[in-house]
Amino acid sequence: MKRIVNFLSLTAAFLMFAGNSVFADGFNSIYTSDGNYVIAAGDQGNIFRSVNGGNTWARYTEANINFKSVFTSGISVWLTADNGNVYKSTTNSVTLTPYTTGVATSINSVYFTDAMTGFVCGNNGVVLKSVNGGISWTPSSTGISTTENFNSISFKDALNGIVVGNHGQAYITANGGTSWTVVNGVTTTVNLTDVKYFPDGAAVTGEYGALFTKYASDPYSSVPTRTNSDIKAVSGISTTEMHVVGGGGFIRNNKSSSLNFLNFEKNPMLANLVDVHFYNSSTGFAVSSLNNAIIRTTDGGASWTLPTGTSVSYSWAAKPGASGNFLGNNMSLHPTDRNTVFIAFGNQVYRSRNKGDTWNTVGNIIPSGNTPHSFFVSPVDTNIWLVATESSPDRIYRTTNYGQSWTIVGPSLNFSNYGQPLEMDQNNPSVFYFAPDNGGFYKSTDDGATFTEISGNFAFRSPCDIIVTWDNPNVIFVADGITGSGQAKIYKSVNAGVNWTLVHTAASSEVPSMCNTVFDNKIIWSTEWSGSNIYFSSNGGDNWVTHHSNSFSGWGSDICREDPSVLITGSWGASATLSVDFGNTWTNISTGLSGHGGGILIPDRGYILCHQGSNVYKLNVTYSVLTGVSENVISSLPSDFSLSQNYPNPFNPSTSIRFNIPKSGNVYLKVYNELGMEVSTLVNSFRNAGSYEVNFDASGMSSGIYFYKLETEGFVSTKKMLLVK
């Protein structure tokens, strides 16, 4: 057997593209019981291990094993897999010993109440108990349905535990697993993904935003999370400091009595997060199933960081199949199918069933006009679509049969050549608003079938965008502008569009887009054209400030639908900029874009689309976790200590160093320059007896003579090597 170990430090890269795993990277679980020894494990035998609290990591690969869960207690380490086995190790060993559980189904979760007593759960209603440290297992499922798969198990002490699984299955025990009963108050049909049993309560997470919390003696209550994303895991030290993760990478907590978990934690991950574990109130770790970039917080979730040396790159990939003329943002999400999105291009509607990767036409062509400005698929009835398109005069078309036939609705009035004149009230999707050129504000209360002017023909010039405030449909904003006017304006109504007040004027021509969030109706962002300023309001649009300026004129914008800390602003050209920390810092993400910009759509942190030119673009995010040392552990037991000459020598830029240790112990292998200064540490931890081969990459070092020194108990050896570039 050959085990591969990678220390994450210098140059070789493991890559992840949002939504697509390039290598056998990613994790399903992470755990630490002492804050120092941390272990993460995933499919295809991927294991990362740290012995210094996540400052550095070593990688191990166990071929053909998909690990599902990890747990540690004292020096004991347990891993479960989809082959029905439980694997046991220790914190000072990399050897895994498999133990059969008596079942062949996937074991999805493990929890030990002490070094000897533990529980696992898995598919087909499996719940098992061990009283000898995981060596043998017996069924512990009296009262439990065997028709569902269980995904998570947790205990608050030796007697009290909870197990949860698919289709809302949740059971509780008060007698150490002897018998189980249905959990009262966890009422749902979605799959439950994780459970945490705290000393003072419990939390259960699930798909489609499901989250149930129990505080002390109170019953379980369903949390209105206001997200369609799956919540994959929960952790924390008590019910007053719970953290949940999921979706495309969000992390939320309930600190400061935020019972709806409206505290969003700043983190750099734009990929799914599938597990989180907090060792104490300050230190926590979270992992994605799509990459090896384990993120860590040391300040209780106020901020999260990637492993040292990790780089992140952004590029847009064109997704062909939908093309034509357009203005504005014509992307519309399916209300129930998270994989489906629609877009109007030219005189045709296109649909993607795979989150924008491929597109196909759907329905018949829009009768006249070939430049749509606004497009909506009704959440009330997906057969109903509305599109505002340029014509002579401009028109709103409506279909009630999925695009098979179209009818003109509302007033046939010209609207902005560059704006989005039609908007749906997200609080009540049967309500639509329409703002044409030269005044007037129209409202529909019947899914766009008819429109009525309600503002006394208020003197708008050429409205560019409309937004309705979440939770307060009486508050509506209209962005108004005319090319060359030098005045971009934002108007606000507090009585559902009847009366209007000017709340912001910019020395530019247009405000092409505004965006707001369901999580805080006081926050609004806006762009400008032809200026480069980004404007921000934190008090519901009453006051606006210039937040920052870009190097390009603004156009589209959007706030992530699952996490308001993520925001993108685009341009009428091929430029865009991203913030993942509520707008505090910004990163240019223009690589790959082409043509003029239109709209931006961010359904979740790992799913980002741009309506650009004559194509749809999707954002790829690549995490490069830098490594410089790979170590091959060869299963043989040498009789003597030895340090071999590196090969090749001279070398450029990498070389291999082999050493033998007949006794287990702490091993140090370091590299020094000619002055005797340490320049690299290759090994600095416990090693079992065996033969080892370390690959050293010196790409960042200059040519010259170097020395490498092996030191372990009872043996020291030094050899010379030559780097020639």
Is residue 18 pLDDT above 70, yes or no?
no
Residue 393 lies in a domain: no
Residue 92 CB-density burial (10 A; 0-12 exposed, 13-18 middle, 19+ buried): middle
Q: What was the pLDDT predicted at 633?
A: 62
Q: Round to whole Å and give the CA distance between 108 and 212.
A: 21
Q: For residue 13, what pLDDT band results from cuts at 50, 70 and 90?
A: very low
Q: What was the pLDDT predicted at 368?
A: 85
Domain count, the chain: 2
Residue 168 DSSP SS3: helix
Residue 463 CB-density burial (10 A; 0-12 exposed, 13-18 middle, 19+ buried): buried
The pLDDT of 99-104, averaged and rounded, is 96
Q: What was the pLDDT predicted at 63?
A: 80
User: DSSP state, 473?
Assistant: T
Q: What was the pLDDT predicted at 513?
A: 96
Of 355, 356, 420, give the one whose Cα is nearest residue 616.
Answer: 356
Residue 197 lies in a domain: yes
Residue with more model confidence, 79 or 146: 79
User: How does the average pLDDT of the chain come out, rounded?
Assistant: 92
Residue 191 lies in a domain: yes
Q: Residue 10: which CATH number?
A: 2.130.10.10
Q: Which residues contact 217 (CB under 8 A, 6 or more apart)?
A: none
Residue 495 lies in a domain: no
Q: Round to whole Å and give the CA distance between 126 and 597.
A: 52
Q: What was the pLDDT predicted at 634?
A: 63
Q: Among 260, 294, 310, give the residue marking a domain's end.
A: 310
pLDDT-wise least confident of 322-326, 341-345, 535-539 = 322-326
Q: For residue 17, what pLDDT band results from cuts at 50, 70 and 90?
A: very low
From residue 472, alpha-carbon distances to 452, 469, 563 in Å are: 21, 5, 20
How confident is the model over 339-393, as pLDDT tens digits? 999 999 999 999 999 999 999 999 999 998 789 999 999 999 999 999 999 998 9
Angle, CA of 653, 654 and 660, to the nearest 5°:
155
Is residue 411 pLDDT above 80, yes or no?
yes
How confident is the model over 52-78, as pLDDT tens digits? 899 878 778 888 899 999 999 999 999
Residue 194 lies in a domain: yes
Q: Round to whole Å and give the CA distance between 446 and 690.
A: 76
| DSSP run (H or E) holding 361 | strand 360-362
Q: What was the pLDDT predicted at 52?
A: 86
Q: For residue 631, what pLDDT band results from cuts at 50, 70 and 90?
A: low
Tell me the sheet residues that pair with 579: 567
Residue 31 lies in a domain: yes
Q: Among 294, 310, 326, give the residue marking a domain's end.
A: 310
Is residue 4 pLDDT above 90, yes or no?
no
Residue 540 lies in a domain: no
How confident is the model over 548-566, as pLDDT tens digits? 999 999 999 999 999 999 9
The b-or-e profile of 414-427 (16+ CB within 10 A means b, else e) is bbbebbbbbbbbbe
Q: What was the pLDDT predicted at 516?
A: 98
Q: Round to whole Å and give the CA distance between 205 and 207.
A: 7
Chain-centroid distance of CA 88 in Å reads 30
Q: For residue 12, what pLDDT band results from cuts at 50, 70 and 90?
A: very low
Residue 585 lies in a domain: no
Q: For residue 713, what pLDDT band results from cuts at 50, 70 and 90?
A: confident
Tell me the residue range of the domain where 696 lies. Answer: 632-723
The pLDDT of 436-442, averaged and rounded, is 97
Q: What was the pLDDT predicted at 61?
A: 80
Q: Among 269, 289, 310, give the residue marking a domain's end.
A: 310
Q: Residue 646: which CATH number?
A: 2.60.40.1930
446 in Cβ contact with 430 (< 8 Å): yes
Residue with more model confidence, 1 or 476: 476
Q: Which residues contact 575 (CB under 8 A, 6 or more apart)?
A: 550, 551, 552, 588, 590, 593, 597
Chain-centroid distance of CA 639 in Å reads 49
The pLDDT of 469-483, averaged and rounded, is 96
Strand arrangement, sheet containing 107-112: 107-112, 118-122, 126-130, 138-139
How confident is the model over 258-311, as pLDDT tens digits? 999 999 999 999 999 999 999 999 999 999 999 999 999 999 999 999 988 788
Q: What was the pLDDT predicted at 626?
A: 57
Percent of the chain with pLDDT over 70: 95
Q: For residue 688, what pLDDT band results from cuts at 50, 70 and 90?
A: confident
Q: What was the pLDDT predicted at 665?
A: 83
User: DSSP state, 723?
Assistant: E
The pLDDT of 511-535, averaged and rounded, is 97
pTM over 0.75: yes
Q: What was the pLDDT predicted at 596?
A: 85
Q: For residue 22, what pLDDT band results from cuts at 50, 70 and 90?
A: very low
pLDDT-wise least confident of 318-332, 438-452, 465-479 = 318-332
Of 522, 512, 616, give the one whose Cα is nearest residue 570.
Answer: 512
Q: What was the pLDDT predicted at 2?
A: 27
From residue 592, alpha-carbon distances to 135, 323, 414 in Å are: 53, 17, 34
Percent of the chain with pLDDT over 90: 81
